[in-house]
């Protein structure tokens, strides 16, 4: 590259040989890609560090691909270079056009279902092409011109040396790029939460390579499985089914189901006071309301997929994957999920979320699950004032959602995903009058209380709004904290919060106790109360379905009805740790729940518990990794045709319809 820059001083020498042409191709392509990132995609780049990563991310792929031209000798060298440039330009341009319509990037699955996508695109494709799009092929034209007019000598003898050099350079540049990206956004590849993020950090071309690897892996796992694999899972699930309690079964039949994901809401905040002020007064009152089932031993079971894992569990009653997120890596799997089950008994199922639809690949996953509507950021007023980090603040979110909800045919299923109480929890001036307490030396922990208070107040307003709009009495409102908010990085401050003595450290046992998240089912008019059963997120679905009068015995689920006398109270975490009413198993050791003390040896029955947890996680992994639900259809269930569902950019009329009060 440096040699090339030097040669620019003497233009006659610019095309000394193929190496100069290669360098020119890399530079032009680099700038073109960067220009496209800045002008065509909404990548949400913030701060100079992210700007820098965005700037450098096209380099590695440009060197890698153009470097392949050194594989050839003679005329083949420049022809290959031009061909590669055309192919990459075409790919970039295809992404641009696709993004203009779908607000999303091309992926292998979207190409494989191209017929379907093309159908929706074809009507508007002309409107998506702009006159200035020719600039996306400008470098191709320039290179073409030089190759035709100014034939540069080729590199004959050392071409393989050059090839190796550039492949090596490309890998190094990529590793630097990835390293910087990981610094800014840890676990970028293993969590891979949003295509937008991957493109922002790694660029469209590296993203494509990543996408191809992920999907090929998944397809290979699929191809190796067969219908016999499901038999063992079926037997396991049937043997572990918990009969519903007749006192509760069908108690909420026909009611609307409102299922609210409370971002990062841990259970320790319930009844917690700072400076004599209740942090969550509304939830506290709900927890004592005789119409609320409040589970005070409820644990989240999420893995790297965070919010999406929690969603996945309450939609399917299966565990998330040990690595990555089902929503991202297995979105094409066959599902027999909550929305489809409810649709088939006359419900209309919807998701409300004030963030963009590509986050956690939701727009693909919801198609497999059969959600009728996905009201994402496009439907909300995403003004500066209304938003913070990931999207819409909870007060406007609930408020605008009720306006939409009123228009839905009943009974409906509304899954609502809140956002404000997300790490690092800072609220804007004027959002709440609850002060940030100076309880600990850790500002994240202190701010958590304020942000929880904001969420609590938003919920209260939502309940009032439901009442005012006649949507309260005929609904059940299920609320769950999706995962922890305060990670173990904040143990020192948390030790103080949970009342440890000065200098006393948090133990693994304490950390597990803090994985309790809020879980309540508020059912107006239904006799409920506090319930101390141990349970987790996989247990949500059977509990709700039984309350709605739908028996889950034919579904392959890993959870059991929390209200059933036969409910399994061993709650596995994704890594094989678990809790039960008596013991906590963490880091290969048992702790006594009463004393919090580590047991010197495994208690009686301990091994059996460990094995049962392993087996349950394995069964779930089998279903997900091998896509086994395609070989099993529950009696009376109609398989979901994912092609029938799509969450396109809403038209003006649709927006007007849903947004008017
Ligand atoms: C983003 C929201 C937050 O849409 O679901 O995701 P998280 O980081 O909690 O998984
Ligand atoms: Mn979350």
- Confidence bin at 8 (pLDDT 50/70/90): low
Q: Establish if 172 belongs to a structural domain.
A: yes
Residue nearest to atom 3 of ligand 1 (CA): 307
Range list of β-strands (E), 172-229: none
Q: Establish if 618 belongs to a structural domain.
A: no
pLDDT at 604 over 70: yes
CB 136 within 8 A of CB 97: no
Counting every residue written for the chain, the total comes to: 661
H or E segment at 451? helix 443-468
Do 412 and 554 sit in the same domain of this protein?
Answer: yes
Total Cβ atoms within 10 A of residue 109: 17
422 Cα: distance to centroid of ligand 2 (angstroms): 7
Which residues lie closer than 8 Å to 432 by C-beta, 6 or more apart? 450, 453, 454, 457
Instruction: Provide the β-strand partners of residue 259.
Output: 415, 478
Do 160 and 305 sit in the same domain of this protein?
Answer: no
Phi-psi map region of 233: left, alpha, beta (phi>0 left; psi -120 to 50 alpha) = alpha
Question: Residue written as tokens 């299922």?
Answer: 259
518: nearest Cα among 286, 207, 320: 286
Do 360 and 288 sit in the same domain of this protein?
Answer: yes
pLDDT at 186 over 60: yes
Q: Is the CB of 204 under 6 A from ligand 1?
A: no
Kindly report the CATH number assigned to the domain that includes residue 377.
Answer: 3.40.720.10
Q: Establish if 229 belongs to a structural domain.
A: no
Question: Exposed, middle or buried: residue 122 (CB in 10 Å: 0-12, 13-18, 19+)?
Answer: exposed
Do 145 and 266 sit in the same domain of this protein?
Answer: no
DSSP letter (8 states) at residue 516: B
Q: What is the pLDDT of residue 218?
A: 83
pLDDT at 526 over 90: yes
Q: Establish if 492 belongs to a structural domain.
A: yes
Token representation of residue 236: 């396991």
% the chain with pLDDT above 90: 80
Q: Establish if 615 belongs to a structural domain.
A: no
For the residues 596-601, what does the mean pLDDT come to? 96
Do 329 and 208 sit in the same domain of this protein?
Answer: no
Q: Establish if 602 belongs to a structural domain.
A: no
Do 216 and 246 sit in the same domain of this protein?
Answer: no
Choosing from 221, 251, 267, the residue where a domain stops is: 221
Q: What is the pLDDT of residue 194?
A: 78
- Confidence bin at 222 (pLDDT 50/70/90): confident
Q: What is the pLDDT of residues 345-383, one digit of tens each?
A: 999 999 999 999 989 999 999 999 999 999 999 999 999
The span from the CA of 655 to the CA of 649, in Å, is 10
pLDDT at 15 over 90: no
Q: Is the CB of 359 under 6 A from ligand 1?
A: yes
Q: What is the pLDDT of residue 44?
A: 84
For the residues 185-204, what does the mean pLDDT come to? 83
The span from the CA of 351 to the CA of 548, in Å, is 19
Q: Is the CB of 261 under 6 A from ligand 1?
A: no
Q: How many domains does the chain have?
A: 2
Q: What is the pLDDT of residue 192?
A: 64
Q: What is the pLDDT of residue 485?
A: 95
Total Cβ atoms within 10 A of residue 209: 14
Do 251 and 173 sit in the same domain of this protein?
Answer: no
8 Cα: distance to centroid of ligand 1 (angstroms): 48
pLDDT at 121 over 70: no
Q: Establish if 31 belongs to a structural domain.
A: yes
Q: Is the CB of 374 under 6 A from ligand 1?
A: no
Do 404 and 549 sit in the same domain of this protein?
Answer: yes
Q: Which ligand lies nearest the alpha carbon of 480?
A: 2
| 3-state secondary structure at position 349 | strand
| 3-state secondary structure at position 21 | helix
Q: What is the pLDDT of residues 50-74, one digit of tens each?
A: 999 999 999 999 999 999 999 998 8
Question: Exposed, middle or buried: residue 8 (CB in 10 Å: 0-12, 13-18, 19+)?
Answer: exposed
Do 262 and 131 sit in the same domain of this protein?
Answer: no
The span from the CA of 549 to the CA of 254, in Å, is 8
pLDDT: is 334 or 195 the higher one? 334
CB 319 within 8 A of CB 572: yes
Q: Is the CB of 307 under 6 A from ligand 1?
A: yes
Mean pLDDT for all residues in the chain: 93
Q: What is the pLDDT of residue 83?
A: 96
Q: What is the pLDDT of residues 143-160, one digit of tens each?
A: 999 888 877 778 778 889
The span from the CA of 347 to the CA of 256, in Å, is 8
Q: What is the pLDDT of residue 100?
A: 84
Q: Which ligand lies nearest the alpha carbon of 481?
A: 2
56 Cα: distance to centroid of ligand 1 (angstroms): 27
Do 557 and 445 sit in the same domain of this protein?
Answer: yes
Cα dihedral value 79, 84, 89, 92, nearest 10: 170
For the residues 384-391, what does the mean pLDDT come to? 92
Q: What is the pLDDT of residues 395-416, one digit of tens each?
A: 999 999 999 999 999 999 999 9
pLDDT at 324 over 90: no
247 Cα: distance to centroid of ligand 1 (angstroms): 36
Residue nearest to atom 6 of ligand 1 (CA): 307
The span from the CA of 272 to the CA of 568, in Å, is 29
The span from the CA of 661 to the CA of 659, in Å, is 6
Q: Which domain holds residue 186?
A: 2-221
pLDDT at 109 over 80: no
The span from the CA of 579 to the CA of 570, in Å, is 6
The span from the CA of 96 to the CA of 28, in Å, is 18
166: nearest Cα among 6, 370, 25: 25
pLDDT at 115 over 60: no
Do 182 and 48 sit in the same domain of this protein?
Answer: yes
Do 211 and 266 sit in the same domain of this protein?
Answer: no
Choosing from 195, 221, 247, the residue where a domain stops is: 221
Phi, psi of 587 (to 5 degrees): 55, 45
Burial 562-587 (b: 16+ CB within 10 A, else e): bbbeebbbbbbbbeebbbbeebbbbe
330: nearest Cα among 4, 28, 625, 632: 625
% the chain with pLDDT above 70: 95
Q: How many CA atoms lie within 13 A of 226 on its CB side?
A: 1
Q: Establish if 129 belongs to a structural domain.
A: yes
Q: Is the CB of 312 under 6 A from ligand 1?
A: no
Q: What is the pLDDT of residues 273-298, one digit of tens each?
A: 999 999 999 999 999 999 999 999 99
Q: Which ligand lies nearest the alpha carbon of 352?
A: 1
> So which residues are the catalytic ones?
307
Choosing from 188, 221, 254, the residue where a domain stops is: 221
For the residues 631-651, what does the mean pLDDT come to? 95
pLDDT at 9 over 70: no
306 Cα: distance to centroid of ligand 2 (angstroms): 5
Residue nearest to atom 5 of ligand 1 (CA): 307
What pTM value is reported for the model? Answer: 0.84
Mean pLDDT lowest for which of 7-11, 14-18, 537-541? 7-11
Instruction: Provide the β-strand partners of residue 260.
Output: 416, 479
Residue nearest to atom 9 of ligand 1 (CA): 307
pLDDT at 419 over 60: yes
Q: Is the CB of 362 under 6 A from ligand 1?
A: no
């Amino acid at each position: 590259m440096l040699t090339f820059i030097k040669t620019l001083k003497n233009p006659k020498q610019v095309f000394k040989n193929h190496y100069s042409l290669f360098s020119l191709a890399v530079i032009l392509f680099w700038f073109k890609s960067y220009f496209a990132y800045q002008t065509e995609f909404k990548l949400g780049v913030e701060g100079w560090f992210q700007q820098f990563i965005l700037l450098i991310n096209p380099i590695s792929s440009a060197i890698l691909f153009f470097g392949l031209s050194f594989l050839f000798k003679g005329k083949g060298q420049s022809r290959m270079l031009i061909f590669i440039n055309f192919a990459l330009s075409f790919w970039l341009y295809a992404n641009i056009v696709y993004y203009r319509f779908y607000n999303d990037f091309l992926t292998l699955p979207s190409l494989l279902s191209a017929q379907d996508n093309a159908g929706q695109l074809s009507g508007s494709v002309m409107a998506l092409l702009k006159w200035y799009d020719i600039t996306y092929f400008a470098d191709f034209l320039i290179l073409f011109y030089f190759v035709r007019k100014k034939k540069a000598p080729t590199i004959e003898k050392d071409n393989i040396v050059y090839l190796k050099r550039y492949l090596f350079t490309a890998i190094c540049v990529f590793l630097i790029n990835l390293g910087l990206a990981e610094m800014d956004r840890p676990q970028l590849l293993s969590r891979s939460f949003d295509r937008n993020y991957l493109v922002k950090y790694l660029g469209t071309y590296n993203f494509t390579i990543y996408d191809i690897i992920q999907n090929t892996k998944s397809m290979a796992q699929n191809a190796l499985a067969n219908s016999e694999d499901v038999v063992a899972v079926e037997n396991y699930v049937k043997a572990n089914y918990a009969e519903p309690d007749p006192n509760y079964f069908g108690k909420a039949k026909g009611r609307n189901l409102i299922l609210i994901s409370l971002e990062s809401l841990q259970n320790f905040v319930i009844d917690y006071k700072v400076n004599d002020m209740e942090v969550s007064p509304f939830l506290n009152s709900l927890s004592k309301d005789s119409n609320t089932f409040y589970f005070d031993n409820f644990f989240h079971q999420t893995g790297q997929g965070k919010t999406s894992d929690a969603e996945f569990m309450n939609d399917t009653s299966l565990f998330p994957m040990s690595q990555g997120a089902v929503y991202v890596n297995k979105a094409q799997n066959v599902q027999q999920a909550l929305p489809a089950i409810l649709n088939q008994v006359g419900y209309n199922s919807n998701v409300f979320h004030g963030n963009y639809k590509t986050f956690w690949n939701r727009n693909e996953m919801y198609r497999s699950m059969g959600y009728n509507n996905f009201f994402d950021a496009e439907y909300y007023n995403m003004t500066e004032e209304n938003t913070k980090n990931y999207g819409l603040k909870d007060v406007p979110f609930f408020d605008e959602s009720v306006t939409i909800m009123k228009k839905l045919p009943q009974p409906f299923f509304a899954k609502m995903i809140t956002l404000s109480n997300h790490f690092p929890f800072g609220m804007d001036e004027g959002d709440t009058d609850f002060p940030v307490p100076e309880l600990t030396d850790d500002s994240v922990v202190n701010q958590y209380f304020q942000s929880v208070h904001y969420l609590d107040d938003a919920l209260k307003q939502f309940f009032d709004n439901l009442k005012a709009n006649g949507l309260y009495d005929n609904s059940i409102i299920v609320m769950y904290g999706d995962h922890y908010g305060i990670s173990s990085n904040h143990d020192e401050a948390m030790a103080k919060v949970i009342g440890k003595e000065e200098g006393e450290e948090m133990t693994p046992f304490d950390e597990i106790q803090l994985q309790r998240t809020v879980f309540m089912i508020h059912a107006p008019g239904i006799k409920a109360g506090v319930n101390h059963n141990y349970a987790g997120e996989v247990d949500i679905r059977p509990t709700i379905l039984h309350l709605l009068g739908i028996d889950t015995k034919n579904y392959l689920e890993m959870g059991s009805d929390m209200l059933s006398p036969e409910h399994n109270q061993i709650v596995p975490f994704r890594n094989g740790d678990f809790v039960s009413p008596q013991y906590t198993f963490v880091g290969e050791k048992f702790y006594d729940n009463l004393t919090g003390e580590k047991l010197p040896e495994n208690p009686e029955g301990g091994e059996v518990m460990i094995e049962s947890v392993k087996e349950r996680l394995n069964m779930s992994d089998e279903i997900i990794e091998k896509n086994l639900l395609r070989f099993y259809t529950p009696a009376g269930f109609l398989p979901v045709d994912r092609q029938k569902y799509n969450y396109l950019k809403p038209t003006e009329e649709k927006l007007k319809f849903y947004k008017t009060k």
